């Protein structure tokens, strides 16, 4: 029996789908994570290009949008074990170039920027309160890396009972093997996988009044 058949036989991989209001979360698309000289590489640049299209649609549809950055105090006072596992992360300070969101995805004034010190966008941040205030039921996630901060955010999103969507061509990793393995695993347990085109179509279905100019 193949591994995939084992998952199917045991009941993994069902769909949770889109329901209610959706929000878009873009995880750690910052300069340092798109540059292979720092923490980037692989297919992250391609993921940024695709996310730019999705972001434009979300803005047109007036969907709530959140971005995340890893930000440590310049004196290192809030760094922890994460920085011991990945020495140099403490360079991602508030004003450091490598901690700034890439130009193609620069947040607009009404978009929420989450500053975090751990992998998950939820851990020790105000993200849940922000989502609750906007009555969000479905969270669409893009970002990098697939096997790291995206995965951690996806697991926490599902744990908070959000219907969680991972946009397959809008997430990236510095190596393709971990990227593909984590997409497979997240689909089986924690999230639904959709392409950017499929997500755009779903979001338009959810927000017809915005498209018609009636809202």
List residues with catalytic annotation. Answer: 149
Supply the pLDDT for residue 167: 98
Give the model's pLDDT for residue 2.
61
The per-residue pLDDT for 1 is: 43
- pTM score, two decimals? 0.94
What is the widest separation between alpha-carbon atoms in the chain? 54
% helix, strand, coil for the chain, step of 5: 45, 20, 35
pLDDT digit string (tens) for the chain, length 215 residues: 467 888 988 989 899 999 999 999 999 999 999 999 999 999 999 999 999 999 999 999 999 999 999 999 999 999 999 999 999 999 999 999 999 999 999 999 999 999 999 999 999 999 999 999 999 999 999 999 999 999 999 999 999 999 999 999 999 999 999 999 999 999 999 999 999 999 999 999 988 766 666 55
The candidate with the shortest Cα–Cα distance to 27, out of 135, 112, 132, is 112
- Domains in the chain with CATH codes: 17-70+102-210 (3.40.50.850)
């Amino acid at each position: 029996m193949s591994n995939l058949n084992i998952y199917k036989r045991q009941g993994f991989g069902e769909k949770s789908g889109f329901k209610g209001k959706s929000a878009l979360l873009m995880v750690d698309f910052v300069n340092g994570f798109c540059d292979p000289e720092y923490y980037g590489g692989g297919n992250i640049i391609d993921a940024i290009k695709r996310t730019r299209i999705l972001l434009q649609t979300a803005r047109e549809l007036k969907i709530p949008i959140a971005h995340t950055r890893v930000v440590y105090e310049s004196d290192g006072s809030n760094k922890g074990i994460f920085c011991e596992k990945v020495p140099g992360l403490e360079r991602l300070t508030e004003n450091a170039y490598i901690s700034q969101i890439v130009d193609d995805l620069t947040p607009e004034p009404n978009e929420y920027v989450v500053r975090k010190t751990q992998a998950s966008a939820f851990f020790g941040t105000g993200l849940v309160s922000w989502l609750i205030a906007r009555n969000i039921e479905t969270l669409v996630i893009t970002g990098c890396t697939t096997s790291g901060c995206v995965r951690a955010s996806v697991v926490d999103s599902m744990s908070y009972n959000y219907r969680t969507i991972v946009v397959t061509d809008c997430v990236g990793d510095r190596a393709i093997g971990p990227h593909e393995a984590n997409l497979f695993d997240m689909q089986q347990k924690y999230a639904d996988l959709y392409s950017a085109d499929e997500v755009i179509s779903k979001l338009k279905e959810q927000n017809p009044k915005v498209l018609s100019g009636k809202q």
